[in-house]
A and B are shown apart, each in its own frame.
Chain A
Amino acid sequence: MSEGSGTLGTVLRHEWRLLRADRAVVVVLVLFIALAAYALGTGERRASAHRSALERLAEASRLTVAELRQQAMDAERRPGAPSDGPPEYGPRDPEFVLAATRQRNVVLPPSPHEGLAVGRTDLYPDVYSVMTLEIGINPYPQALPSKGAGPIFGRAIENVTSPRKLLVGHFDLLFLMVYGYPLLIIALTCNLLATEREEGTLALVLAQPIRLGTLVAAKIALRGALLVGLALLCPAIGIAASTGFAAPGDGTRLLLWTAAVVLYGAFWLALAAWINASGRSSAHNVMVLATLWIVLVVVLPSALTLAATELHPVPPRIELVEAARRARNEARVTANEEALRRRFLERHRDRIHDQASMYAAMTTIVEPAPAGNPLLDDFFARHPKLAGDRRFTQMSLFYVLLAAQEEAVERRTEAVRDRIADGLASRRAFLDRWAWLAPASLAQRVLSDAAGTGEARYRRFFEQAAVYQAEQRAFFWPRVFHAATLSAADYDRLPTFEYVEEPAGWVVRRSLAALAALAAFAAFGTSGAVVAFRRFGVV
């Protein structure tokens, strides 16, 4: 018996007619497309609001710096501008500029593909006010600290999404693909041969010059083409509707998304074919496939999460808060700043009559830094350049002591931060090692990474924010401590935060293992189905 491409074409056409005639299949397909459109629509609406809000913030931050720079240049050009002495409190005073630029100075631009998957965007802050030399500021207990990246002192604009919404999660395309896509496949394939076999038409069809393998392959190919089409179309529409493939790496990310969905879909398709090969009724197929869906999509990922959480506990953030508090107390007591200030005021009582004269005295009288202050000595030992001749105004000394406290808190909380970072890293390693057990988890991590809303992007953001904090200190500390006057040229060196996106290739490289595991699942399912169909009885 020989088969030509004509036979395959006939079977495909026939199958297509059958599918179109099956009302249940049409209803399920329409429902899925409607849900996908809903997920994409609401996702894009949410993402564009988020995008424009953050763009406005970043723009406002840029404008502030530009305005200050202009004012500094104007002041510089003004005739009679003092060339030495402490700068006037304004755009040429580093302390003023630090205070003026500390609000919302670190912004993570939203991923261009946020509309596809909410990921971690509703949980982690993406706007920070990174601060230094600030009274009473605590290290922000940020999510995902990286070892050695240093804490971020400052505040974050905390997300105010309704906690109920956070708890139940969003209905985004990722959710639909991980949960709903397998159900669509089950609905399309639970009755691959069962009814034809029960009604006896299968034997009739196979009496024609066609092999069972070809028939099954044609049935699966048609459904596969339909499913791949959906897998490709949904994110493509999503990206086209949001940024219109303008962002670099859009194509790569789309390909990655599609590859993950296709492999995940291929696994479910193969599984469905395998179950169909048992030759039992479609009711049996539905029952078994539904049970598999519950186990693979609901129970296994939860069990994996539970195992990761229990086997690799992360020290609670409360420990960081406590450690920071203890460190601050120790540093404060050691700094003894209040007593130093009080002694200064007593010492210069004759020159101080009111607020203005007090401010003048604190900003102009230069005195040697008190000797024997352990915090100060330690700080200068670490930063000999900042010490200079160890002579400061009282105001500058106040800031030096703040910096020393900041650094002491940073140093003394390092162990806790590292333990948290280690805990998170070992938990990630555990999940990397065992994620292959749950195909739904694999699909989820690749899809959220492709959409740019996964953990990795936030980790990168926090690392870059910590670098910015170091740059901020390097710029402001010497200038504030020595009451330097800022010039327009200094403004060119003023650190600003600009998130550097990771190349799409890195995301692909990170996802390769998960994609390979998904491919292995699909291959396993396919070989199981092939073997099972060899034993398939037509009647």
Chain B
Amino acid sequence: MATGRRAIVWNASADGFDLEVTSRATALACTSPPMTFGLPALAAGRALKDESMIALQVARRDLLEMSRDGRLRWAVGVLLLLLAVSVCVGWTRSTQAAALRRAATDVQHEAWLEKGAMHPHMAAHYGMFLFKPVPPLAAVDRGIDDYVGSFVFLEAHKQNLFAGRPAADAPPGARFGELTAAAALQVLVPLVILLLTFSTFAGEREQGTLRQTLATGVRGWELVLGKTVAVALLLACVLLPAALLGAGLALVDASEVREEVGRAVALALVYLAYFAIWAVAGLWVSARAGTSRQALAGLLAFWFATCLLAPRLGADLAGFVHPAPLATAFDAAIEEDFAQMIPFPRRVEAVTKRLVSEYGVAGPEALPVSPIGFALSEGEAESSHIYRRHLDALFDTYERQEQVGRLVGLLAPALALQHVSNALSGTDLAHHRRFAAAAEAYRLDLVQPLNRAIAVNDEIAQRPGDETFYAGYLRGRDLWAELPRFEYVRPPLAWAASYTWTSTATLLLWLTAATAGLLASVRRLHV
């Protein structure tokens, strides 16, 4: 019966239950009360021989049932509201922060030029603040950016850590989760998907309609396709307006967005894959569970474990396997290495000796260059090397921790998604590290020319060997303006994709496994 094109089913009609012969599509349409609202006519007429119409009928029926459930209407409505609010807030915040940092960078450069006459080494101590640019997609996912600081002070002898963490000013509750677009997409959308899917099979089984549906001869994949389409359509009602809102806001400043279109499309595809995982997993659990209560409890436990527990426990595990140093220990280790450096007077002495020999002059008093400038330059290179070694080790530890997180992502798709989402938004550790490296390179571009300006200059050449030169040598705007201005180019999409393929593959693996599991379950569906 189930294999033929026609099936014998119980049809609810105004006259009561009549036995009749009809097409599978029509029969399916009649298996539950909602079908009395005119759906069958379409299927019965034109799509009698169309297999895909059966899936569509399933979708239509499920959609109707879901849309009639007041709890789901509320859930979807609230989600839409939260997404809209978070998208608007995210966009406002990130565009404001981006504009502020751009303006602050200009102000800093102006201050650098206008600081007046001073000794070049004092200028190096005067330093420069660099502000980390805000990538446009931070409106969707701020990633770690709130926790790594928004600016860094560049100065002589020292590679500072980034300061001004926006999270430090956020209310304490923010540590328990902020209502960002990313949080809504990563945590709340899956929750609504669970509510949409947990009773799709299990609920029908409890009501007895699953038996009737299967009696129509509908195939497993058709049932799955239909239910998936229903969930997808309902989700689209939430996601499409949010996406359109986001796109509309992004177009307000199209110049920034043009370069990010590739990243935005990739981000949308990854999120779609993530939602698909939850939808398929929800259907799978619903198909396997004995009751809808079991399905709901199981799915909620999975949601809690993967969306709320796994990130924390994963980070704990990562910290346990690859511990980051305590702040005080990190500081002390750098200081210890600094203590091993040649003391400055001895460095000046050694440099003087070398220069005397190189220039072939009788003594230091005849040198046409300043040994102090050379010594400062050498010291800067050495101290920069010390910092780079320690900071590289620190960032390597962070990256190893991220790798552990990616492994945990094999068990929790939310973690894999966070990794890809942060990377595509340009707000992950790798992007921060790249910017920090550029900032350090610029620090040397700033400080070393100043040291060279001390080492070799017209004034000392006119008064060879004058040791008081160091205390009284002044330079002005001409030198400050010679130094390059910091320019930073965001890495392209390919760069971010190059190190996120494992997490992307993890998501695809989850999707494949869940789909295979669902199809297998549906093939042996118990009623």
Check if A214 is an interface residue, CB within 8 A of chain B. no
Bound-complex Cα distance A358 to B467 (A): 9
Check if A527 is an interface residue, CB within 8 A of chain B. no
Contact at A127–B327, with CB atoms within 8 Å? yes
The CB with the most chain B CB atoms within 10 A, among A143, A168, A309, is that of A168
Contact at B108–A305, with CB atoms within 8 Å? no
Contact at A162–B318, with CB atoms within 8 Å? yes
- Residues on the B chain within 8 Å of A445, using CB: 172
Partner of A166, one of B147, B325, B331: B147
Contact at B108–A302, with CB atoms within 8 Å? no
Contact at A329–B187, with CB atoms within 8 Å? no
- Residues on the A chain within 8 Å of B405, using CB: 164
Bound-complex Cα distance A445 to B304 (A): 23
Contact at A169–B107, with CB atoms within 8 Å? no
State the main secondary structure of chain A at its contact with B.
helix
Residue of A nearest to B92 (CB): A310
Contact at A358–B471, with CB atoms within 8 Å? yes
Bound-complex Cα distance A49 to B45 (A): 75
Q: Which residues of B contact A (CB under 8 A)?
A: 71, 75, 78, 82, 85-86, 89, 97, 100-101, 104, 107-108, 111, 114-119, 122, 125-127, 129, 131, 143-144, 146-148, 150-151, 153, 155, 161, 163-179, 183, 187-188, 191, 291-293, 296-297, 300, 304, 308-309, 311-316, 318-319, 324-331, 394, 397-398, 401-402, 405, 429, 432, 467-468, 471-472, 474
**Beyond A123-B165, A162-B401, 14 additional pairs, beta carbon < 8 A:** A127-B328, A140-B163, A160-B325, A163-B144, A170-B312, A170-B316, A171-B312, A308-B173, A321-B129, A321-B151, A325-B129, A333-B115, A338-B117, A427-B171
Check if A371 is an interface residue, CB within 8 A of chain B. no
Check if A157 is an interface residue, CB within 8 A of chain B. yes
User: Which segment of A224-232, A258-266, A286-294, A409-417 sits at the interface?
Assistant: A286-294
Contact at B324–A318, with CB atoms within 8 Å? no
Q: Which of A315-370 contact B (CB under 8 A)?
A: 316-318, 321-322, 325-326, 328-329, 332-333, 338-339, 341-342, 345-346, 352, 354-355, 358
- Residues on the B chain within 8 Å of A57, using CB: 328
The CB with the most chain A CB atoms within 10 A, among B104, B108, B173, B300, is that of B173
Q: Which of A283-309 contact B (CB under 8 A)?
A: 283, 286-287, 290-291, 294, 298-299, 301-306, 308-309
Bound-complex Cα distance A159 to B329 (A): 11
- Residues on the B chain within 8 Å of A328, using CB: 126
Check if A63 is an interface residue, CB within 8 A of chain B. no
- Residues on the B chain within 8 Å of A205, using CB: none
Bound-complex Cα distance A328 to B118 (A): 13
Contact at B324–A345, with CB atoms within 8 Å? no
Q: Contacts A125-B327, A329-B111 hold; do A158 and B163 have CB atoms under 8 A apart?
A: yes
The CB with the most chain A CB atoms within 10 A, among B89, B97, B472, is that of B472
In the complex, 14 of the A-B residue pairs with CB atoms within 8 angstroms, ordered by the A residue number, are: A49-B326, A160-B327, A160-B330, A163-B144, A167-B147, A168-B311, A169-B312, A294-B191, A316-B150, A322-B107, A322-B108, A355-B467, A431-B171, A444-B172
Check if A523 is an interface residue, CB within 8 A of chain B. no
Q: Contacts A160-B324, A163-B398, A427-B171 hold; do A179 and B308 have CB atoms under 8 A apart?
A: yes
Contact at A53–B474, with CB atoms within 8 Å? no
Contact at B179–A306, with CB atoms within 8 Å? yes
- Residues on the A chain within 8 Å of B326, using CB: 49-50, 53, 160
Bound-complex Cα distance A251 to B319 (A): 32
Partner of B151, one of A162, A304, A305, A318: A318
- Nearest CB of chain A from residue B72's CB, rounded to whole Å: 11
Bound-complex Cα distance A225 to B290 (A): 33
- Residues on the A chain within 8 Å of B82, using CB: 299, 303
Partner of A342, one of B179, B291, B474: B474
Partner of B179, one of A143, A286, A302: A302
Contact at B163–A124, with CB atoms within 8 Å? no
Q: Contacts A54-B328, A454-B172 hold; do A162 and B177 have CB atoms under 8 A apart?
A: no
Check if A90 is an interface residue, CB within 8 A of chain B. no
Bound-complex Cα distance A346 to B176 (A): 63
- Nearest CB of chain B from residue A22's CB, rounded to whole Å: 14
Contact at B116–A332, with CB atoms within 8 Å? yes
- Residues on the B chain within 8 Å of A441, using CB: 173
- Residues on the B chain within 8 Å of A178, using CB: 176
Bound-complex Cα distance A67 to B133 (A): 47
- Nearest CB of chain A from residue B418's CB, rounded to whole Å: 9
Partner of A168, one of B163, B315, B468: B315
Contact at B150–A136, with CB atoms within 8 Å? no
- Nearest CB of chain B from residue A396's CB, rounded to whole Å: 15
Contact at A325–B108, with CB atoms within 8 Å? yes
The CB with the most chain B CB atoms within 10 A, among A294, A301, A318, A333, is that of A318
Contact at B315–A162, with CB atoms within 8 Å? yes
- Nearest CB of chain A from residue B416's CB, rounded to whole Å: 14
Bound-complex Cα distance A178 to B176 (A): 10
Contact at B179–A303, with CB atoms within 8 Å? yes
- Nearest CB of chain A from residue B138's CB, rounded to whole Å: 13
Partner of A302, one of B129, B153, B183, B315: B183
- Residues on the A chain within 8 Å of B173, using CB: 301-302, 304-305, 308, 431, 441, 444
Partner of B291, one of A283, A302, A444: A283
- Residues on the A chain within 8 Å of B313, using CB: 171
Bound-complex Cα distance A49 to B300 (A): 36
- Nearest CB of chain B from residue A283's CB, rounded to whole Å: 3
Bound-complex Cα distance A253 to B230 (A): 53
Contact at B153–A305, with CB atoms within 8 Å? no
Bound-complex Cα distance A287 to B74 (A): 14
- Residues on the B chain within 8 Å of A287, using CB: 71, 296
Bound-complex Cα distance A120 to B174 (A): 11
Check if A135 is an interface residue, CB within 8 A of chain B. yes
Bound-complex Cα distance A141 to B176 (A): 24
- Residues on the A chain within 8 Å of B318, using CB: 162, 164-165
Q: Contacts A53-B328, A160-B327, A306-B178 hold; do A345 and B122 have CB atoms under 8 A apart?
A: no
Contact at A160–B168, with CB atoms within 8 Å? no
- Residues on the B chain within 8 Å of A318, using CB: 100-101, 104, 131, 150-151, 164
Q: Contacts A57-B328, A283-B296 hold; do A317 and B172 have CB atoms under 8 A apart?
A: no
Bound-complex Cα distance A502 to B443 (A): 43
- Residues on the B chain within 8 Å of A119, using CB: 172
The CB with the most chain B CB atoms within 10 A, among A50, A175, A298, is that of A298
Contact at B327–A448, with CB atoms within 8 Å? no
- Nearest CB of chain A from residue B20's CB, rounded to whole Å: 35
- Residues on the B chain within 8 Å of A487, using CB: none
Q: Contacts A136-B127, A317-B164, A338-B118 hold; do A305 and B144 have CB atoms under 8 A apart?
A: no
Contact at A167–B144, with CB atoms within 8 Å? yes
- Residues on the B chain within 8 Å of A169, using CB: 175-176, 312
- Residues on the B chain within 8 Å of A165, using CB: 315, 318-319, 324, 401
Q: Contacts A136-B122, A321-B164, A345-B471 hold; do A164 and B144 have CB atoms under 8 A apart?
A: yes
